[in-house]
Amino acid sequence: MRKILVTGANGQLGRALRQVYKDEVEFILTDMVEGDGISRMDIAELSVVEKYLKETQPDVVINCAAMTNVDGCETNERGAMLANAIGPRNLAIATTQIGAKLIHVSTDYVFDGRERERPYTEFDTPSPMSAYGRTKLCGEEFVRQFASRFFIFRTAWLYGDGHNFVKTMLSLTKKRDELSVVCDQKGTPTSAIELARLIHEMEPTDEYGIYHATCEGDTNWAAFAEAIFEKKQKKVHVRHVTSEEYKELNPASADRPKYNLMENYMLSLVSEYKMAHWEAALDEYLEGIE
C-alpha cells in the first residue's frame, strides 16, 4: 500500500483528500497542530522536514499547507514567505532525498489578474500583484528547482470542509437580508473535493509538471453568492459593488485580481479527465450543508 504524507491535513483540501482516497493508501497526516491522528511538522524548518520524511518514508507528499490569508500576507510577508515559499522548498529537497513524488498546491494569484481576452494557461508568464501571489510563486519556483518528480496544481476560489466563502455567505443570511458583494472579479469557484479527485487521478501517473486545476465555467463573487442563496432558497438581496467601492468600505483589504480565469489546458493535453462545472460541484457541496 502506498504511503502518502499530507501537510496541512486539517485544512479543506487535506480533509477532502482523505474522503476521496478512503482506504486506498496509508496516510501520514501532518499540520502545525497535532491531534486526532495528525502529527506536528513545521515545513519551514528544513532539518525537521528531512528528519520526518526519512523516518516515515512516504511514496508521495501532498503539500496542502499554506498561508492563504491574502490581507495577512500583506502585513506579514516574511511569515507568508516561510509558509508559502521556504516550506515548499524544504519539501522539494526532502522528497528528492528519499525519491518521493511531490504534489504542491498553488494559486491563480500568481497572475496579476488584469482584464484580458482569454483565460490564463500554464504557458502564460506569472506576474503576481500581491504578497500572497509573490510568495506562492516563489514556492512554485523552489519546487521546480529542487524536486525531481513533481506536480504543481494551481487552483482558485477553493471551498470545502472548513471556513470558506460559501459558509460565510450562508451564515450572514441569519443576520442580514442584504449583502454587498464584489461583482467585477471574475473567476471559477472550485470545490476541494473536485481538486482532490483530480489529484487522485494524476498522482499515480508520471505526467509531471504545472497544471491549472479549477472547475469548469466562470462567474463573479456576487453571482456566486446569488447562486448559493438560490440553491439554498435563502431570500437575501445581493448588492453588486465594484472592487473600488469595496475598497472604500474596507480600506485595509489587499488588492485582488479582477480576472482570475484559468484554463486547464495542460490537463486537456495529457488526459481525458475533466473537472466538474462549478455549479454542479456547488450542488454536490450544498447537499451536505444545512
Note whether 67 and 118 are within 8 A (CB): no
Residue range 183-228, pLDDT digits in tens: 999 999 999 999 999 999 999 999 999 999 999 999 999 999 999 9
Could you say which residues of the chain have pLDDT below 70? none
Residue 142 domain flag: yes
Answer yes or no: is 232 within a domain.
no
Residue 132 annotated as catalytic? yes
Cβ within 8 Å of residue 103, ≥6 positions away: 60, 61, 62, 63, 150, 151, 153, 199, 203
Residue 24, domain member (yes or no): yes
pLDDT at 19: 97
- Cell representation of residue 221: 463573487
Question: For residue 35, is it within any domain?
Answer: yes
In this structure, what CATH number is given to the domain that contains residue 14?
Answer: 3.40.50.720
Domain interval for residue 97: 3-164+189-216+262-277
Within a domain: residue 160?
yes
**Which listed residue (21, 109, 120, 132) is catalytic?**
132
> What pLDDT is attached to residue 205?
98
Does any domain span residue 284? no
The total of structural domains in the chain comes to 1
Residue 195 located in a structural domain: yes
In a domain, residue 176? The reply is no
For the beta carbon of residue 175, count every other beta carbon within 10 angstroms: 7
